[in-house]
Chain A
Amino acid sequence: MTGRLLVAAAAAAIAVAPLVASTYHVLLMLPFMAYAVVLLGLNLLFGYAGLVSFGHALFIGIGAYTGAFLTSHCKIRSLEVILIAAAALGALVAAPVGALCVRYVKIYFGMLTLAFGMVFHTFVLKFYRLTGGDEGTPFLRPSLLGRSLEAMPKIDYLVGPYYYYSLAVLVLATLCMWRIVHSPFGLCLKTIRDNPAKAETLGIGVTRYRFHAFVISAVYAAVGGALLGPPIGNVDPTLAYWTHSGNIVFMTLLGGFTSFFGPVVGAFVFIYLQHWVMSVVPYWRLIFGAILAAIVIFAPGGLLGLLEPRRAAVRL
Chain B
Amino acid sequence: MLSVREIDVFIQASHILRAVSLEVGAREVVCLVGRNGAGKSTTLRTIMGYLRPRAGRVELRGQPIHGRRTHEIAALGLGWAPEDSGIFTDLTVAENIEIATWTRRGGRPAAERLELAYGVFPVLRTYMARKGPEMSGGERKMLSIARALALDPQMLLLDEPFEGLSPAIIPAVSDGIAQITRLGHAVLLAESNIHHVPEYTTRLYVIERGEIVFAGTPDDAWRDTTVLRIIGGTR
Q: A184-B102, A203-B75, A203-B104 are in contact. Are A190 and B147 (CB under 8 A)?
A: no
Q: Chain B nearest CB: distance from A161 CB in Å? A: 42
Q: Is B82 an interface position by the 8 A CB rule?
A: yes
A103 is an interface residue with CB less than 8 A from chain B: no
CB within 8 Å of B: which of A255-283? none
Size category of the A interface is 10 to 19
Give Cα A202–Cα B86 distance, bound, in whole angstroms: 11
Docked Cα-Cα span, A204 to B96, in Å, equals: 13
Query: What's the Cα separation between A200 and B48 when bound, in Å?
Result: 10
Of the candidate stretches B87-95, B160-168, B176-184, B196-204, the one touching chain A is: B87-95
Chain B CB count within 10 A is highest, among A193, A198, A201, A206, for A201
Q: Does residue A114 face the partner (Cβ distance < 8 Å to B)?
A: no
A184 vs chain B, min Cβ distance (A): 4
Cβ of B95: which chain A residues have Cβ within 8 Å of it?
A: 187
In chain A, what residue has the closest Cβ to B77?
A: A203
Q: Are B86 and A201 in contact (CB under 8 A)?
A: yes
A187–B91 contact, CB under 8 A? yes
With the chains together, A200 CA to B51 CA distance in Å? Answer: 13
**Cβ contacts B99-112/A at 8 Å (1 or 0 each):** 11011100000000
- Counting CB contacts under 8 A, is B50 at the interface? yes
* Of the residues B72, B87, B91, B151, contact of A190 by C-beta under 8 Å: B91
- Cβ-based interface call for B70 (8 A): yes
**Interface 1/0s, chain B 109-142, versus A by CB < 8 A?**
0000000000000000000000001000000000
Q: Name the residue on A nearest B157 (C-beta).
A: A201
**Which residues in A have their C-beta under 8 angstroms from that of B230?**
none
Q: Is A205 an interface residue (CB 8 A)?
A: yes
- Which residues does chain A contribute within 8 Å of B69, judged by CB atoms? 200, 205
In whole angstroms, how far apart are the Cα atoms of A203 and B70 in the complex? 7
Q: Does B71 contact A (CB under 8 A)?
A: yes
Asked if A206 meets B71 with Cβ closer than 8 Å, knowing A184-B102, A201-B48, the reply is yes
Q: Which residues of B in the span 33-79 have a Cβ within 8 Å of any Cβ on A?
A: 48-50, 69-72, 74-75, 79
C-alpha gap A187/B91 in the complex (Å): 8
- From known contacts A187-B99, A195-B86, infer whether A203 and B91 are also in contact, taking CB-CB under 8 Å: no
Other-chain contact of A191, B50, B91, B104, B148 (Cβ < 8 Å): B91
Interchain CB contact under 8 A, B88 and A312: no
What chain A residues lie within 8 Å of B74 (beta carbons)? 200-203
CA distance A195 to B84 in the complex (A): 12
Establish whether residues A202 and B100, one from each chain, have CB atoms under 8 Å apart when the complex forms.
yes
Residue of B nearest to A200 (CB): B70
B205 at the interface (CB under 8 A from A): no
Interface residues of B in 154-194 (CB under 8 A from A): none
Known: A187-B99, A188-B99, A198-B82. A204 touches B90 (CB 8 A): no
Contacts of A199 in B (CB 8 A): 71, 88
Given that A190-B90, A194-B88 are known contacts, is A202 also in contact with B99, CB under 8 Å in the complex?
A: yes
Instruction: With a 10 A CB-CB cut-off, give which of A184, A198, A203, A206 has the most chain B CB atoms.
Output: A203
Bound together, the chains give a CA A190 to CA B92 distance in angstroms of 11
Least Cβ–Cβ distance between A62 and chain B, in angstroms: 31
Contact partners of B50 in chain A: CB under 8 A: 197
Contacts of A201 in B (CB 8 A): 48, 70-71, 74, 79-80, 82, 86, 148
Chain A residues near B49: list those with CB within 8 A: 200
**A21-56: contact bitstring with B at CB < 8 Å (1 yes, 0 no)?**
000000000000000000000000000000000000
20 contacting pairs across A/B (C-beta < 8 A):
A184-B103, A187-B98, A188-B103, A190-B91, A193-B90, A195-B88, A197-B50, A197-B70, A198-B82, A199-B71, A200-B49, A200-B69, A201-B86, A202-B103, A202-B151, A203-B71, A203-B72, A203-B104, A205-B72, A206-B71
Binding site for A on B (CB under 8 A): 48-50, 69-72, 74-75, 79-80, 82, 86-91, 95, 98-100, 102-104, 133, 147-148, 151
Chain A interface (Cβ < 8 Å from any Cβ of B): 184, 187-188, 190-191, 193-195, 197-206, 312
7 A-B pairs with the lowest CB-CB distances in the bound complex, closest first: A198-B86, A200-B70, A184-B102, A203-B74, A203-B75, A203-B103, A194-B88
Apart from A190-B91, A191-B99, A201-B79: 14 A-B pairs, beta carbons within 8 A: A184-B102, A187-B95, A194-B89, A194-B90, A195-B86, A197-B86, A199-B71, A200-B69, A200-B71, A201-B48, A202-B147, A205-B69, A205-B72, A206-B71
